[in-house]
Structure 1
Amino acid sequence: MTIKDAGIKFTTAIEKEMIQIRADQMELGQQLTERINGVGDRVKVLDGKVTSLQHDVTMLKSDVTMLKSDVASLDDKVTDLEKGQRSLQEGMKTMQRTQSDMMDILVSIQRKFDCN
């Protein structure tokens, strides 16, 4: 084999190796592109889920706000009921005192009739 033949064989081998390297690079590029697209699709799905969760959180916050308002309203009503109950209890005590006084008056009237 002459130097010329060896040079041609060497350059052919280098050319084949370069073609193989380019093919490998293209295949790796394709795989990388597919992975990136897969990740992009997953990100889109996650973004949709996050958006849905944000909507749900917003709805929950609104529900909590409404519940807080309802609880405050109920607290006011309970306070009013407690005031009414206290007033009723005071009225009953007054009525019992009045009844007791009336009984004392009736007993003393009865005694006066008994004495006469």
Structure 2
Amino acid sequence: MGYKEICCTLGTSLDNDFIQVRADQAELAQDLTERINGVASRVKALDAKFDKRFAELDAHVDQKFAEVDQKFVELDAKVDQKFAEVDQRFAEVDKKFAEVDTRFDRLEGKVTEIQGTQTEMMDILIAIQRKLDVN
């Protein structure tokens, strides 16, 4: 065998090896593409599950907020009612205090009258005592 034949054989062998390497690379690229597509499909499926789950969770949270909001509205109405009742009771107490003040004013007037009458009586008794002492 001559150099020519050896070089041709070597060239053919290298060419076949390159073709085989390129075929292997293409096969690996195809496998990698399929894996990437499989992962993408799984990610899309997980994304759909997460979207569904988040939507359910969002709906549940919205429902709970609505329930809590309704309870706050009911409690607010009850508190307003209780404040109205307390205000009414304070008004009644104020009215009774006003009545008691009026009674005290009348009583004070009567006590002042009685004290005036007692002073007059004491003056009369003193005058009588002086007349008796003089006689």
- TM (norm. structure 2) is 0.68
Q: CA deviation at 1:21?
A: 4.7
Alpha-carbon distance in 1 for matches of 2:44, 2:96 = 76
Tell me the CA shift for residue 82 of structure 1: 0.9
Structure 1 residues without counterparts, runs of 5 or longer: 2-8
Paired letter, 2:57: G
CA deviation map 1:81-109 (0-9, x unaligned): 11111111111011000000011111112
Q: CA deviation at 1:58?
A: 0.8
Aligned to 1:50: 69
Report sequence identity in percent: 18
Instruction: Tell me by how many angstroms 1:50 deviates.
Output: 1.3
* 2:78 alignment counterpart: 59
CA RMSD of aligned residues (A): 2.4
- Cα distance in 2 for partners of 1:70, 1:16 equals 79
1:28 to 40, 47, 50: 47
- Distance (Å, rounded) in 2 between the aligned partners of 1:110 and 1:24: 122
Aligned-partner residue type, residue 106 of structure 1:
L
Which moved further from structure 2: 23-32 or 50-59? Answer: 23-32
Which amino acid counterpart does residue 100 of structure 1 have in structure 2?
A: T
Q: What residue number does 1:86 align with? A: 105
1:74 alignment partner in structure 2: 93
- Report the structure number with the largest CA radius of gyration: 2
Consecutive unaligned residues of structure 2, counting only runs of 5 or more, are 1-18, 20-26
For the residues of structure 2 that align with 1:107 and 1:21, how far apart are their CA atoms? 122
In the aligned structure 1, how far is the partner of 2:36 from the partner of 2:93?
Answer: 83
Q: Which residue of 1 aligns with 2:120?
A: 101
What is the aligned length? 110
Q: Provide, for residues 54-97 of structure 1, a one-character-per-residue CA deviation record: whole Å limited to 9, x for no partner.
A: 11111100000000000011111111111111111111011000
- Partner Cα separation in structure 2 for residue 115 and residue 77 of structure 1: 56
CA distance in 1, matches of 2:53, 2:95: 62
Corresponding residue number in structure 1 for 2:59: 40
The CA deviation at 1:19 is 6.8
Q: How does 1:5-24 map to 2 (within 5 A)?
A: 21=40, 23-24=42-43
